[in-house]
Amino acid sequence: MTVTVWISRDAGALALGAEATAQKLLAAAQAAGTAIRLRRNGSRGLYWLEPLLEVECAAGRIAYGPVTAKDVPGLIDKGLLRGEAHPLRLGPIEAHPWFASQQRLTFARVGRIDPLDLDDYIAQGGFRGLRRALEIGSAATVNEVLESGLRGRGGAAFPTGIKWQTVLKQPAGQRYITCNADEGDSGTFSDRMLMEGDPFSVIEGMIIAGVAVGATRGYIYLRVEYPHAYQVMNAAISAARKAAYLGTDVCGSKHAFDIELRLGAGAYICGEETSMLESLEGRRGEIRVRPPLPAEKGLFGAPTVVNNVVTLATVPVVLAQGAAAYRDFGQAKSRGTLPLQLAGNVLRGGLIERAFGLTVRELLYDYGGGSASGRPIRAVQIGGPLGAYLPESQFDTPLEYEALSAIGAMLGHGGVVAFDDTVDMLEMAKYAMEFCAIESCGKCTPCRIGSVRGAEALGKIARGINPEGNCSLVEELCDTMLQASLCGLGGMAPYPVLSAMKHFKEDFAKRTAAS
């Protein structure tokens, strides 16, 4: 009898040795004369358990992890292929408390299916959203998305339905759907996991968007640093085209829609929507002034939907299950679920999809299990490199848009990075400016010059040069950057700096005293 074994082809799992484990398993099974069917899935998101291996047996998919190549022979000897006991045996992964407590909607299929198996996708509810959208038509689809309360998961949290509505209202003519897959925030990986683990959901979301706003062409703008996602997405697009989900007659509906995958060239700024459009047009990735909004004049001057990967992959859920069902998750103005990405100095990092409202502390400790180093967690940065640093005193803040905004922080793309008490927050502040300087497109002056001067001034503080003067200069500079920058890069780089200066005064005061 052939045993089916699942090992992830997710880039995170591969980085942890999943490929070696897989090869070893095949070799060992062959040596042992056992026929196995090795299937490759996305990651379940429990990265501290990768490489994770699941064996299909009577009791279900029994997980083992982390399984390195050298663990394989021993495991096989111990009856791995029959799901037998072993210190690495985890049982059915979906019963694992870390997993079971999640509310996986967008990530429902990730890790469960072979990402490129269209039948798997359909069997697990794929294209139900699209069929419904085709049934109810354009305006009702837009309305459904509007009603669901879905907000852009890329970071800006703009209501997706309103964006679509704006595009729909534009005068007739060419329109575009663009998928922003330039996931550049440090500590974030949900877009990547989705594209590698359930690419059809992104494609389905884009088709629905196309049907909804009357666009016939979509572009995915993918960062060049995601080669695995590139392969999977491309293969998925081909498969969808072959199966007539893409092309001149989507699902026999007479709607035309096709997708082209474009690679970025490594610029963080191209994750900003207008820069992304510039880059897609073959220009230098540089901010465009708004207005006009991309929904009015976007790609090649045509009305354009720009949505993040997670947003688009969530759309099929909204359509399949209905706006109300989705809306039931979450709280206040943050509806639905958010795939949080927990990283940094934590014991158990990974992907946690939960309804909005989980507190920072719950995330860090219930899921994260505290710091990996065993030392107290001193600070977390939420929302990427431009997000504010939260001190321990703010750990009870619920993870939702307005609550974070109220304390001067932001949820962004849902990345959470933890630091223990050895962190030097002055260095972190300086890093924020340096990051901004490296990634600045150079168009506006506060960002182009300000970030460099900010890093320099913080460096002077670190070296004990006129700390008071430089501290107030940095504050003044942050004000200039906040108020005068053209886009969120220069306009948000002050958040980590100012929050560090505010909540971790001592790290700046130290130097003041040293002078």
- The contact set with other proteins (CB under 8 A) reads 267, 284, 289, 291, 437-453, 456-457, 473, 476-477, 479-480, 483-486
Q: Output 101 or 483, the one with its CB closest to other proteins.
A: 483
Q: Output 361 or 453, the one with its CB closest to other proteins.
A: 453
Phi, psi of 265 (to 5 degrees): -125, 20
Q: Output 208 or 486, the one with its CB closest to other proteins.
A: 486
**Do you find a cis peptide bond into 51, omega within 30 degrees of 0?**
yes
Rounded Cα distance, 306 and 18, in Å? 34
Q: Output 405 or 483, the one with its CB closest to other proteins.
A: 483
Interacting residues of 137 by C-beta distance below 8 A, sequence separation 6+: none
Q: Output 199 or 446, the one with its CB closest to other proteins.
A: 446
Closest separation in Å from C-beta 213 to other proteins: 22
Rounded Cα distance, 5 and 36, in Å? 7
Closest separation in Å from C-beta 497 to other proteins: 15
Closest separation in Å from C-beta 263 to other proteins: 18
Closest separation in Å from C-beta 452 to other proteins: 5
Instruction: For residue 4, count CB atoms less than 10 angstroms from its CB and return exposed for 0-12, middle for 13-18, buried for 19 or more.
Output: middle
Rounded Cα distance, 321 and 116, in Å? 23
Q: Output 154 or 450, the one with its CB closest to other proteins.
A: 450
Q: Output 359 or 480, the one with its CB closest to other proteins.
A: 480
Interacting residues of 399 by C-beta distance below 8 A, sequence separation 6+: 338, 340, 354, 356, 357, 358, 359, 360, 363, 382, 411, 414, 416
Q: Output 69 or 487, the one with its CB closest to other proteins.
A: 487
Closest separation in Å from C-beta 442 to other proteins: 3
3 state DSSP class of 381: strand
Closest separation in Å from C-beta 437 to other proteins: 6
Contact 36, 53 (CB under 8 A): no
Closest separation in Å from C-beta 483 to other proteins: 5
Joined together, the tokens standing for residue 501 give 């200066």
Closest separation in Å from C-beta 402 to other proteins: 16
Of residues 300, 312, 137, 136, the one with CA closest to residue 214: 137
Residue type at 126?
G
Contact 425, 379 (CB under 8 A): yes
Contact 230, 199 (CB under 8 A): no
Closest separation in Å from C-beta 472 to other proteins: 10
3 state DSSP class of 209: helix
